[in-house]
A and B are shown apart, each in its own frame.
Chain A
Amino acid sequence: MNSPPPQEPLVIKLVYYGPALSGKTTNLMRLHDLLHPELIGDLMTMETQDDRTLFFDLLPLGFRTANGMLIKIKLFTVPGQVQHDATRKAVLSRADGVAFVADSQNNQSINNGESFQNLAENAARVGLDFDNIPLVVQFNKRDLSAILSEEEILSRWGAVPWPVVFSSALTGQGVMETFAQLLHQVYARVDKTHQLARLHGLSREAFIKAIMYNQQEEAHD
């Protein structure tokens, strides 16, 4: 290769949004365990004494392309509690994609709705194009009993343009699928701005695989 590898790493910021106690931090903890990219940092958490997220959680992931460019994915969570709205705005700023973690429990419909509304409003306030941002809706806590059925949820959320994933972050079910769905959309966006395929020979499948399964599969090979 004649051209030297680009010095500036490509940083992709993904935000896990949602109402309080819906399992955003748990999603990141599971991802930390399940993902096997070339580079993965520790999960940095900032929480209050009762384990509620105070500012954010951060999990950095990354890999180098064939021509040496470092691609970093920074996963953030926002604090779900209503009073931390300014923090949510600060964390959501400059996001390249959002996973909305909803709570499947029967009594959480209003909180889910309000939090989603809050996401849309804050996206507009920090200058994100909410209609075009990569977004996945995850209905978490499927392992609990007092929850809305999938039919009920799909009857309310099925019409939205975003994929809806059912999960149990506690057991890990649906966590990877949510993340994969998000990466799927994020690739299109980043490919448009950074020409991943043309300049770096990185296809969508290679991109997703490099982030999710790289070392694990290498280990199995």
Chain B
Amino acid sequence: MTDHFDRQLSLSELFTEREISTIQSNFSRLLGRELTLEAADSPIQPGYERKAINWDLEPIGYLLMKDGNGELLQAAVALLDILVQNAARYRMAKDIHQEIITIDYEALQKKHQALQESEARYKELSRQLKQKVTEQVQTIQKNQTKLYRAEKQAAVGHLAAGMAHEINTPLAYIQNNFATAVSYQESLQAIEKEIKKEDWVTLKEIWQEEDMDFILEDFPSLLADNLEGINKVAAIVADLKNFSDIDRTEIAFDDINARLQTVLRILQPQIPEAIKVILELEKLPPLSCDPAHIGQVFYSLLYNSIQAIEGSGQIVIQTTIIEGAIQICIRDNGKGIAPEHLPHIFDPFFTTREIGQGTGLGLAVCHEIIKAHGGSIRVTSEPKVGTTFNISFPVGQ
């Protein structure tokens, strides 16, 4: 803390010791008498005439003269008054300047501190924000994975009904054929008994009774039918397993045309005979992708096309390559999408189907998967004319 500029000043604050001795010696020389300048609190010395030097209405010091000459002393005091006035002016200006600097400096420091505090606050806010964003991103990613899985499971659910039928047919005739095979085997056991007896007449009768000529002719084709049926079931199971392999996310080079055909095979049981599927597939370079996810995209789009066609109609699937990007076009001549729905069809949970008929996630998930592959999907549609989906995947180096 500096001294206040408006305090009572003392002689020693106005003049240095050297200045005081200069004043004394020069006044003494000028007046031809010994002159002394003393502080206000000096004791009175006998034999000296003394006169007060005033500053701010009070004596700040005394001028002492040995050989009293009132007039000379008065003149010296008048001169000293001017010196004191100027020294005081300078001293007060210097002190208030110091005070002002302190005030300014304190104000500046306060401002600086406030600034630092606000900076720290913003840093903390930004740190919290970053953490919140990270948490949110994690939540979103977790939910997205859940959504993918839910949509996939819904698709598998759709498939289950069609697949059951598809597997049931071969199973039914395999069952039937085996029942027949069991009765053939009974006939063979009866023949065997007669052979052991070596009774050829009875054997011939039984041979005819059991219609062994037909059995021998029918058995190989029966076994062949069963083998074919079992192969068919095995193929369906393989496709289903391939398609429902949800958790395996592996990037592989995949043939898009082959992928489309696999999905079509899986969907086949759900395609009514009145719907004609036309494939116009050009030779494509392999696409680096997640085959299970890409398969799901095709499944969703084709499933939608099938649903869109009431009665008879056709679905055209075209693939081609334009400017280094694989283009897939799936076009149906179904009922189309209402213009007011068109902007929302890729929004999650948007569905026009009845509750329980659709999750509203199919196209949203398609959109996400295609985006994750760096691709794009566009839709054009006209009610009662049909809907076209155009998908584009850039082929990586």
* Contacts A46-B89, A60-B56, A62-B57; A87 near B96 (Cβ below 8 A): yes
Within 8 A of B (CB), among A37-52: 39-42, 44, 46
Question: How many residues does chain B have at the interface if contact means C-beta atoms less than 8 Å apart?
Answer: 20
Cα separation A113 to B395 with both chains bound (whole Å) = 74
Q: Are A86 and B107 in contact (CB under 8 A)?
A: yes
A72 interfacial contact with B, CB 8 Å? yes
Q: Are B85 and A42 in contact (CB under 8 A)?
A: yes
A42: nearest residue on chain B (CB-CB)? Answer: B85
Q: Are A46 and B93 in contact (CB under 8 A)?
A: yes
A89 interfacial contact with B, CB 8 Å? yes
Q: Are A13 and B6 in contact (CB under 8 A)?
A: yes
Within 8 A of A (CB), among B39-62: 54, 56-58
Within 8 A of A (CB), among B276-290: none
Q: List, in ascending order, chain A residues with CB within 8 A of B103's CB.
A: 86, 89-90
B195 interfacial contact with A, CB 8 Å? no
Q: Are A72 and B56 in contact (CB under 8 A)?
A: yes
Per-position binary interface string of chain A over residues 51-79, scored 1 when its CB falls under 8 Å from any chain B CB and 0 otherwise: 00001101011100000001010101000
Q: Are B96 and A56 in contact (CB under 8 A)?
A: yes
A74: nearest residue on chain B (CB-CB)? Answer: B6
Per-position binary interface string of chain B over residues 57-95, scored 1 when its CB falls under 8 Å from any chain A CB and 0 otherwise: 110000000000000000000000000010011001100
Q: Are B99 and A90 in contact (CB under 8 A)?
A: yes
Q: Are B57 and A60 in contact (CB under 8 A)?
A: yes
Q: Are A55 and B57 in contact (CB under 8 A)?
A: no
Q: List, in ascending order, chain B residues with CB within 8 A of A61's CB.
A: 57
Within 8 A of B (CB), among A18-44: 39-42, 44
Q: List, in ascending order, chain A residues with CB within 8 A of B96's CB.
A: 55-56, 87, 90-91
Candidates A72, A90, A94; contact of B57 at CB < 8 Å: A72
Q: Are B100 and A44 in contact (CB under 8 A)?
A: no
Per-position binary interface string of chain B over residues 135-151, scored 1 when its CB falls under 8 Å from any chain A CB and 0 otherwise: 00000000000000000
Chain A nearest CB: distance from B60 CB in Å? 12
B228 interfacial contact with A, CB 8 Å? no
Category for how many chain A residues contact B: 20 to 34
Cα separation A47 to B85 with both chains bound (whole Å) = 16
B165 interfacial contact with A, CB 8 Å? no
Q: Are B93 and A55 in contact (CB under 8 A)?
A: yes
Cα separation A74 to B96 with both chains bound (whole Å) = 16
Cα separation A72 to B55 with both chains bound (whole Å) = 12
* Contacts A44-B89, A86-B107, A90-B100; A39 near B6 (Cβ below 8 A): no
Chain A nearest CB: distance from B393 CB in Å? 69
Cα separation A91 to B85 with both chains bound (whole Å) = 19
B104 interfacial contact with A, CB 8 Å? yes
Max count, chain A CB within 10 A of own CB: residue among B57, B89, B93, B103: B57
Cα separation A55 to B183 with both chains bound (whole Å) = 128
Q: List, in ascending order, chain B residues with CB within 8 A of A13's CB.
A: 6
* Contacts A55-B97, A56-B96, A86-B100; A94 near B6 (Cβ below 8 A): yes
Candidates B8, B56, B92, B100; contact of A87 at CB < 8 Å: B100
Q: List, in ascending order, chain B residues with CB within 8 A of A87's CB.
A: 96, 100
Q: What would 7 A/B residue contacts be, using CB atoms closer than 8 Å? A: A41-B57, A42-B85, A44-B92, A58-B6, A74-B6, A87-B100, A90-B99
